[in-house]
Chains A and B, each alone.
Chain A
Amino acid sequence: MNATAIADKEPAPMPRKRRRLSWGALLGFALLLVVTVAMLSPLWFMVSTSLKTTKEMLAFPPTFIPETFAWSNFAELFTNSDIKFGQQYGNSLIVAVSSVIGTVLSSSLVAFGFARYRTRGSGLLFMLVLSTMMLPYPAIMIPQFLLFTKIGLHDSLLPLILPNFFGSAYIIFLLKQFFSTLPNELYDAGRIDGSSEFRLFWNITLPLAGPALATVSIFTFIWSWNDLLAPVLYLDSQENFTLPIGMAAMMSSKFRLAPWNLLMAAAILSSLPIIALFAVAQRRFVEGIVLTGIK
């Protein structure tokens, strides 16, 4: 009866052991299944709504599987001249990719400085950098808007990209923590071989920081991809609009039905880059969480 007791006396016969495992596993799987269904049902609803016609979208009780699959919803996003989905998608990609490049380059350099060099006041300086995390966007919104308008960048994508080239306190903090864990011996060895300080950063630190860089790239990409307020403030011309503006506009009329089916189709398409990025960076990303979490 007692499985462990049997196992103590003699090596348990294979089938028995497997049965014991399968009971526990069965329970585990059942539990997982319930949680999975609960987690996936909104996702399923998104997919099913994206394939409904307008009439069916309004039906109550809602149908879980569309009666007719309106694949044309996806095509309409690109063909309806009022929506301009393709153009917005492109703009969002430009902004998000540039933001990732800018943030990773600038923040990693600053983080390297804070992690590897100590001087009088460097602690204070670091605190100062961190304190900028406390400033919410609405507090700097108007001054920043005035600045970019003065230098003539209003209604272009640049005000959304440029600030990223000046570092982000949160990312600097994350990277600094990671860089501090790299052993000093590596740098000493580099210096003995005559490497410049920049080379220590470029050829030693960055290649070793893969997981951390993957993590911050994903964070930055998602922030930039989802940002709505800043693009709304800066962009005036329709051809410069980013995805969040377009999608917010779809449900912004109180005088009409929101086209939920189109909106869900747009949501599916707009989550693709994030899913792709996550798939590519997943191994490193998970490592990154573990590493930054422990240290």
Chain B
Amino acid sequence: MNKKWLSAATCIALTTVVAGTACSKGEGGSGKTVTITHYTIDSPDRTFVEKLIPDFEAKHPNIKVKVTKAPYEQFDSKLQSAIAGKKAPDVTSHWGYGGFMEYYSKGMLMDLSQLLQDDGFNAADYNIPENVMDIYKVDGKTYGVPLNSYVTVMLYNKDMFDKAGVAYPPTDYEDKSWTFDKMVDAAKKMTVDSKNLADAQYGVDFGWGERDQRVQYFGADVYSEDTWTNGGKPSKVNLDKPEVIDAYKKIYGLIHDQKVSPTPAFSKSVSGQFGDPFLSGKIGMSVVGSWSLAASNNFNFKVGVAAVPQGPNPKVRSVLYVDPLFILKDSKHPKEALEWIKYLITTEVQEKSIELSGGNPPVNQKAADKYYSSFDGIDPAQIKQVYDGAYKYGFESYNHLIDNYSQINELFINELGPVENGDKKAEEVLPVIQEKLTKLLERLNK
């Protein structure tokens, strides 16, 4: 009796599903006008794509593009509920807290390999280097098409250098005399470590990558090697290894032993909760993501750009943040979505986007030249040299490579807080993180 009902119910369910898919396929037929949705952060450097739509629609009369948006903090929540409510956008990127691997392992992304192959897509046509294209491949399958590429750069306050009589740092990554120790020496000459906020200023703010990736600069790695090949699931955590502990000692030694870097309290009081203290003009050198360059025309001081100095790890000196575009799995119009993506990475549109966005670095290397020359008072050749070096000595951001990264990153932020404040020593805290992180990973990657 029960079984009969069950099979009857299954039959009905199956017919509905089949009918449902048949219907949705019907909608996507060529010739008809389809609407695709592009979901992004509600900020001018992202929503500028709205201004490109009229041109795109004129060139593709059967595709309409709708832009939906959310503030940064709510980006992930809106995306999750939209997917649950079958209102998923067609095109988006990991613009919220979560990174590529998180999207990938939650099964949100469409495998684009076949689509790209059918389309005859060739990255070289869009001047995207092969190794950049490879970042969003897993097991040989492509899940994302690069759009913008940010790197880690050193910004420096020329006024502070002039005042202290220190020579400007070089832009050439091959100038091996520009080392971490030399940077610390220069920083010492500019630092005034004072309790009085008006007098205090610091030589360097070393914001290289996120906290877990930062030790990579010193030749250590928090995660086991297999992380980079198995889909971002570290099998082992290395926070108990002496080279990792030494790296953290060096990083936080800048604040508390050498006293050439600002404490979090200082940074917050000159720039607010989330601001960059470099903007206040109280920091000599700042190692940051190149997005900070976009604001440079508003700075109250003369700014320069330089190579990240050579550290103990000669191979990795810059973190790359390549932002891709994804097509979500539930998209009913992947072909049209790909047309939109291809449009966004053409040389012409990438060049146009630099100005419309206020300085987003294009992934299309032909358009990059225009990007290098879009900053007041900075020589384009210097920016180009810094970017070239950063690509050569770059490693992709952990955020894009490790699964469940937002939770892992939060653990590091919370646990290292007391070390940054000077309440605890790195070597006291690292065993705690080791234990918590191992447990967290065991739970997440079961």
Contacts and interface: CB of A to CB of B under 8 A. Distances in A.
A233 B77 CA distance: 7
B81 A61 contact: no
Nearest to A138: B77
B85 A232 contact: no
Contact of A149 (B43, B86, B360): B86
Nearest to B301: A58
B42 A146 contact: no
B46 to A, nearest CB: 7
Given A146-B85, A149-B87, A249 B298 contact: no
A166 B342 CA distance: 48
B197 A61 contact: yes
Given A249-B69, A256-B358, A154 B279 contact: no
A197 B254 CA distance: 75
A254 B294 CA distance: 10
Interface in B324-383: 358-360
A257 interface: yes
B41 A252 contact: yes
Given A58-B300, A154-B87, A233-B78, A248 B197 contact: no
B291 A255 contact: yes
A177 interface: no
A256 B44 contact: yes
Given A149-B85, A248-B71, A249-B69, A60 B282 contact: yes
A253 B70 contact: no
Contacts of A229: 74, 77
Contacts, number: 96
B21 interface: no
A59 B358 CA distance: 22
B8 to A, nearest CB: 25
A154 B72 contact: no
A46 interface: no
B84 A253 contact: no
B295 interface: yes
A249 B87 contact: no
B280 A60 contact: yes
Contacts of A154: 85, 87
B1 interface: no
A232 B294 contact: no
Contacts of B6: none
A232 B71 contact: yes
B270 A145 contact: no
A249 B44 CA distance: 9
Given A146-B85, A255-B360, A245 B78 contact: no
B45 interface: yes
Given A149-B86, A229-B77, A249-B42, A60 B281 contact: yes
B81 A141 contact: yes
Contacts of B279: 58, 257
B60 to A, nearest CB: 22
Interface in B172-210: 197-198
Contacts of A228: 71, 74
10 contacts: A55-B300, A233-B78, A233-B81, A245-B71, A248-B74, A253-B43, A253-B72, A256-B44, A256-B45, A256-B295
Given A146-B85, A252-B41, A256-B44, 9 more contacts: A60-B281, A149-B86, A236-B68, A249-B43, A249-B71, A251-B274, A253-B41, A253-B43, A254-B72
Interface of A: 54-55, 58-61, 82, 141-142, 145-146, 149, 154, 228-229, 232-233, 236-238, 245, 248-249, 251-258
Interface of B: 41-47, 66, 68-74, 77-78, 80-82, 84-87, 197-198, 270, 274-275, 279-282, 291, 294-295, 298-300, 358-360
The 5 closest A-B pairs by CB, nearest first: A253-B43, A249-B42, A248-B71, A252-B72, A255-B291
